[in-house]
Amino acid sequence: MAVSGLVFVLWVLAHMYGNLKAFAGHDAFDEYAAHLRTMGQPILPHGGALWIIRCILIVAILAHVSSAVVLWRRAERARSTRYQAKKNRHSTLSSRTMRWGGLALLLFIIWHLINFSAPRVNVSGGPTADPYVLVVDSFSVWWLTLIYLLAMIALGMHIRHGVWSASQTLGWTSSAAARHRAKALGIFLAVLIAAGFSLVPIFVLAGVITR
């Protein structure tokens, strides 16, 4: 779970950077989208590098979800008797919502792929072949932007605790200073990624990013 989670952190950082190309305008964003399919040419065929990335992400998500199920079952077996009274004195909201937040993110990823990858659904009824137009049309719809922003909050919370938990699993929190750095890194990445992804839909809905 730790390794697959770190793979996703690296991916969302790269994905966030690409999304911010929308601020550079139509041509810059579409060039970025086209570049994803021409990476590695002529060594790789058209779209080859993108499919390699997709395969890595598919393996990572299968590993992440299966690990979550195994850990959840292990926790259930370890405590067959429920707490009569449970006080969350040391846990964070991020840690307590990891399971449901992860499930919400999984559902959001499925919708996100339908919306922007395959088969590309433009809820505004406009064209889908142009990536920039699809982004602007999609986030011009308030309820879709709201869903996206809520998903980014869930993503930030998931990353905040996930980075800390992965650091523990990988043995990177052996000292008080290391634990402090791991917590700070989790918060930094959570805020950076959630805010970075939220900028484009907010500015589209505000009319700053337009066709």
User: What pLDDT digit, counting tens, does each position of 40-50 carry?
Assistant: 999 999 999 99
User: What pLDDT digit, counting tens, does each position of 133-190 carry?
Assistant: 999 999 999 999 999 999 999 999 999 999 999 999 989 999 999 999 999 999 999 9
Q: Quote the pLDDT of residue 194.
A: 97
In a domain? residue 87? no
Q: Quote the pLDDT of residue 147.
A: 96
164 within 8 A of 180, measured Cβ to Cβ: no
Lowest mean pLDDT among 13-27, 78-92, 122-136: 78-92
In this structure, which long-range contacts are made by residues 72-76, counting pairs with CB atoms below 8 Å and at least 24 apart in sequence?
A: 72/99
In a domain? residue 88? no
**Distance between CA 180 and CA 174 in Å, rounded?**
11
The number of angstroms, rounded, from the C-alpha of 129 to the middle of its chain's C-alpha atoms is 24
**Distance between CA 158 and CA 162 in Å, rounded?**
6
Q: Mean pLDDT across the stretch 118-143? A: 94
pLDDT band at 113 (very low <50, low <70, confident <90, very high): very high
In a domain? residue 27? yes
In a domain? residue 99? yes
In a domain? residue 211? no
User: What pLDDT digit, counting tens, does each position of 38-88 carry?
Assistant: 999 999 999 999 999 999 999 999 999 999 889 888 877 876 666 555 565
Q: Mean pLDDT across the stretch 8-33? A: 96
Q: Quote the pLDDT of residue 99.
A: 83
Task: Say which CATH number the domain at 42 has.
Answer: 1.20.1300.10
Structural domain count of the chain: 1
Q: Which domain holds residue 134?
A: 2-79+94-205
**Distance between CA 195 and CA 199 in Å, rounded?**
6
In a domain? residue 210? no
Instruction: Inform me whether the pLDDT recorded for 95 exceeds 90.
Output: no
In a domain? residue 6? yes
In a domain? residue 13? yes
Instruction: Inform me whether the pLDDT recorded for 116 exceeds 70.
Output: yes
